[in-house]
Chain A
């Protein structure tokens, strides 16, 4: 999942970015509203964390412009002012939640996770597809009750696919959502991750949860998984 952070305080920006990277998110950062708008409109952002007090374009204006350009990803407001006037103004402008500075790192992670889940239509911090169970909060993946050890990037890939089940996801999309903008991307690496995931999730090859659609991308096959659940 790719998160955009728009925060003008360099120390807080770095701190929040490090926190979210540690949590497994691909993070893009911006220090002013104008650049933040560009990133938000041009990059495949899954969630934005926006400070209200930004130089250039204010946080409120940024949110309005993003919503005006049909960007529907969740937006979490960061504000130093605990006023409800600011919170309500931000939420009315199009934000989905707010967090008042200073905040607990865990609270920030929880809010980001909750907003991403909500955007994907999941109320609980857990995605269950047949025998596949992903705990989005702890980033643990289990297959038929057996925990599966995954690397950070493998987790990012299966999480994205699980939040978009039965949807065709291109390698580019996967790459964009699990890598930051300035990362050195290699589409072959995605193939490697997919291969490893198949081996780890379905070592016998009986369920085949991840389909390859030649020339189009990958799809997490919900029907196959739920059928596999019956057989497991």
Chain B
């Protein structure tokens, strides 16, 4: 029997739902992960610092090597000055050969030159080498040149050499060192330096990764605990957490507790409201003298209370509900229905996938299963079949619940109205129960589909997608 709601008593239009998300709330790109940030910043810091250290060490070594070479060149020059002799005719010779073999071996890279106005002397090492001209230094003057100023490091000393005839001969003693002599030492030093710095960088990067892992572990623990709450394995964050995270975790716990308290309070208020409305309504309906128009108005009120209260109760669902085993609930309801419909029900078959869970309120699951099975029993011809299995999807898999019977096939689609407005006509029996199921399914992000059961009658499939969120969790 259908009970039309009179058009003279229309339901107030539902509040408009914004169709698009405001620009201010447009989805923004997700910030980079903390681990990535830490790793990138630490790596950058490490590379810059160790690079700077490397360059400083390289410069210091280079300076030190040059100073050291200069000292060595001074030593060679002094030894030459000690051994040299200048004849009265200006001929320069060495009384004693240089002690350091580097000045004796041709092409050794170190060359000595004693230059006077009338003669010049070169070390044996300069044999066959095209030594550039050396600038004369005045007496008492010294000079040091690096390869930037010429092809060799050059150390020069200016002397006034008094000859045996008491004449004074201006002499310049110069030591030239091939730049390669320092470059190879510098290259060797640099190889060692950068290898060491590379190894240090690697070790420090590994240490940094370890530090960030240790530092981020409490955050990962919080994430795991929140996942446990979400999956229903816990009803609050377990803790303890570091002091820095406590304000966050404490607030989340408070939020969960407040959500639960509000939900219970809201549901109690709805129950009281339903009770206080339905009993006087029953009195009015039980009056046999009531005229049809009045009875119709009462029917409308009943429908609105049943569906509106159900819709309102949908708002009381837990944001993070515990997984509820489906099999026991289905068995309880099936046992009850076998009793209620004992006269006409010959076979009520329930096939539930082992371990299947419903992520929501037990009350909602009972409403879903109860209404679908009860309708199937009422309008079937003695055979009813329920199948329930999971839909793949992570910590919160979806659910598919299919209920069919062997009754006369009825197209049930028309009995469910999206949004259920008061001015729409809803059939009693199938319609009321189905609309309650549709309201609850919608609250869980699910939907109903209709078809023909293999038993021959109508079939209703309830599909709640994986990872569904309840209304309480919607933003």
Contact = CB atoms under 8 A, between A and B. Distances in A.
By Cβ-Cβ distance, the 7 closest A-B pairs, closest first, are A84-B370, A102-B282, A15-B286, A102-B281, A84-B366, A91-B336, A101-B282
B contacts with A: majority SS: helix
B343 A81 contact: no
B93 interface: no
A83 interface: yes
Given A87-B336, A88-B370, A123 B343 contact: yes
A18 B298 CA distance: 20
A110 interface: no
A101 B332 contact: no
A129 to B, nearest CB: 20
Contact of A102 (B302, B367, B369): B302
Interface in B331-348: 332-333, 335-336, 339-340, 342-344
A16 B436 CA distance: 27
**Tier of interface size on chain A:** 20 to 34
Interface in B249-285: 271, 274-275, 278-285
A82 B282 CA distance: 13
A114 B343 contact: yes
Nearest to B279: A9
B33 interface: no
Contacts of B281: 101-102
Contacts of A16: 286
Given A91-B340, A102-B302, A123-B343, A84 B285 contact: no
| Centre residue among A15, A80, A81, A98 by max chain B CB count within 10 A | A80
A78 B332 CA distance: 20
Contact of B285 (A53, A96, A97, A102): A102
26 contacts: A9-B279, A9-B283, A12-B282, A78-B282, A80-B278, A80-B279, A80-B282, A81-B274, A83-B366, A84-B367, A84-B371, A88-B332, A88-B336, A91-B336, A98-B340, A100-B278, A101-B279, A101-B281, A102-B285, A102-B298, A103-B286, A104-B285, A105-B288, A108-B286, A114-B343, A123-B344
A231 B389 CA distance: 61
B283 A12 contact: yes
Contact of A84 (B275, B282, B369): B369
B228 interface: no
B287 interface: yes
B288 A12 contact: no
A87 B286 contact: no
Given A80-B274, A85-B362, A97-B340, A105 B286 contact: yes
A22 interface: yes
A11 interface: yes
Contact of A19 (B288, B369, B371): B288
A149 interface: no
Contacts of A11: 280, 283
Contacts of B283: 9, 11-12, 15
Nearest to B288: A105
Contact of B278 (A87, A102, A104, A105): A102
B254 to A, nearest CB: 29
A112 to B, nearest CB: 13
A146 interface: no
A118 interface: yes
B363 interface: yes
Contacts of B367: 83-84
Given A82-B274, A85-B363, A102-B284, A118 B370 contact: no
Nearest to B338: A91
B339 A91 contact: yes
Contacts of A80: 274-275, 278-279, 282
Contacts of A118: 342-343
B461 interface: no
Contacts of A114: 343
A147 interface: no
B343 A12 contact: no
A97 B342 CA distance: 10
A193 B271 CA distance: 49
A202 interface: no
Interface string B93-127: 00000000000000000000000000000000000
